[in-house]
């Protein structure tokens, strides 16, 4: 278990872990749409977005893991639920509500753009380089979110979803009750055979 290590993360890891955790968990949530989205095209699109997000999480974990003497997989899977720093906003289980899913997608991409920009401007060249690389993919997520925003903006249920979710964007702290279930599922195989390689 890497929990003990993580209680004292480095100054460099401090702002990065919440981002990686958000990307991992949102990637996880987005992949829940696989096979059941309103259009086959959206199955494919959300799957791409999920893969990018999980890829970003992995890249950030790798950077942090080198400092903490652990691995990206251990950071992603072997922490206790309370050690994850993702926001409740990304933990929400929204399938099969498309209005809320798109609302979160729009709000998240917007907030994510701001914090990635801060990293791009950071003094740490390795972090800035990685952030720039991540941002190149996020551009497409933002275009996808924007396209859906324009399609749904006149729909009352979409507006309601935006109103409901907007206050949660910057919330941090306590995990939602459903995070425990997500964690159980996410780590199920890994926990099933102790010390195994998969």
Partner 1 sequence: MSAREDEFLEYVQSGGQVETTDWMPDDYRAKLIKFIEMHGNSELMGVLPEREWILRAPTLQRKLALTAKVQDEVGHSQLIYRVVSDLGKPREHCLDDLISGKSKFHNVFHYPTKTWGDVGVIAWLVDAAAIISQKALLKCSYAPYARIMKKICWEESFHILHGRDVILTMMNGTDAQRELVQEALDRWWGPLMQFHGNPIPAEDDPMYIWRIKSQGNGEARQQFLDGYVPQIWELGLTVSDPKLRKNDDGVWEFSEPDWDELKHVVTGHGPKTEERLGLRRTTRGETEWVRRVVLPEAA
Q: Which of 71, 113 has the CB closer to partner 1? A: 71
Task: Note whether 189 binds partner 1 by CB under 8 A.
Answer: yes
Long-range contacts of 114-117 (CB under 8 A, 24+ apart): 115/19, 116/19
Question: C-beta of 12: minimal distance to partner 1 in Å?
Answer: 20
How far is residue 84's CA from residue 175's CA, in Å, rounded to a whole number? Answer: 9
Q: How far apart are CA 181 and CA 169, in angstroms?
A: 21
Question: For residues 144 and 111, what is the distance between their CA atoms, to the nearest angstrom?
Answer: 15
d(CA 177, CA 18): 18
Q: Does 188 bind partner 1 (CB under 8 A)?
A: yes
Q: Least distance in Å: CB of 152 to partner 1?
A: 7
| Residue in 34, 118, 160, 171 binding partner 1, rule: CB under 8 A | 34
- Binder to partner 1 among 6, 13, 26, 50 (CB under 8 A)? 50
What's the min distance (Å) between Cβ of 118 and partner 1?
25
User: Does 58 sit near partner 1 (CB under 8 A)?
Assistant: yes
Angle at 42 between CA 38 and CA 45, to 5 degrees: 165
Is 39 a residue that touches partner 1 (CB under 8 A)?
yes
195 binds partner 1 (CB under 8 A): yes
Upstream peptide bond of 96 is cis (omega within 30 degrees of 0):
yes
* Listed residue (155, 156, 46) closest to 101, CA to CA: 46
Which region, judged by CB under 8 A, interacts with partner 1, from 38-46, 80-88, 119-127, 135-143?
38-46
Binding mask 96-135 for partner 1 (x = CB under 8 A): xxx-------------------------------------
- Residue 57: count of CB within 10 angstroms of its CB: 24
Closest CA to 88 of 160, 173, 7, 3: 173
Measured from the CB atom, the residue of 13 and 60 that comes closer to partner 1 is 60
Q: Where along the sequence are the contacts to partner 1 (CB under 8 A)?
A: 28, 31-32, 34-41, 43-44, 47-48, 50-51, 54-55, 57-58, 61, 72-73, 76-77, 95-98, 151-152, 155, 157, 185-186, 188-190, 192-193, 195-198
């Amino acid at each position: 278990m890497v929990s003990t290590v993580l209680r004292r993360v480095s100054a460099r890891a401090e702002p990065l872990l919440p981002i990686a955790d958000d990307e991992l968990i949102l990637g996880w949530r987005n992949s829940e749409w696989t096979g059941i989205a309103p259009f086959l095209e959206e199955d494919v699109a959300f799957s791409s977005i999920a893969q990018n997000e999980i890829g970003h999480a992995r890249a950030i974990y790798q950077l942090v893991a080198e400092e903490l003497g652990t691995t990206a997989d251990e950071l992603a899977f072997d922490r206790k639920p309370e050690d994850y720093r993702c926001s409740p906003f990304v933990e929400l289980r929204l399938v099969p509500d498309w209005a809320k899913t798109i609302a979160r997608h729009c709000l998240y991409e917007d907030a994510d753009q701001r914090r990635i920009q801060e990293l791009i401007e950071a003094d740490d060249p390795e972090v800035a380089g990685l952030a720039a690389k991540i941002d190149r993919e996020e551009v497409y997520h933002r275009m996808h979110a924007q396209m859906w925003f324009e399609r749904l903006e006149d729909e009352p249920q979409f507006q309601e979803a935006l109103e409901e979710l907007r206050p949660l964007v910057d919330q941090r702290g306590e995990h939602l009750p459903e995070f425990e279930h997500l964690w159980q599922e996410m780590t199920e195989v890994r926990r099933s055979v102790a010390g195994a390689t998969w």
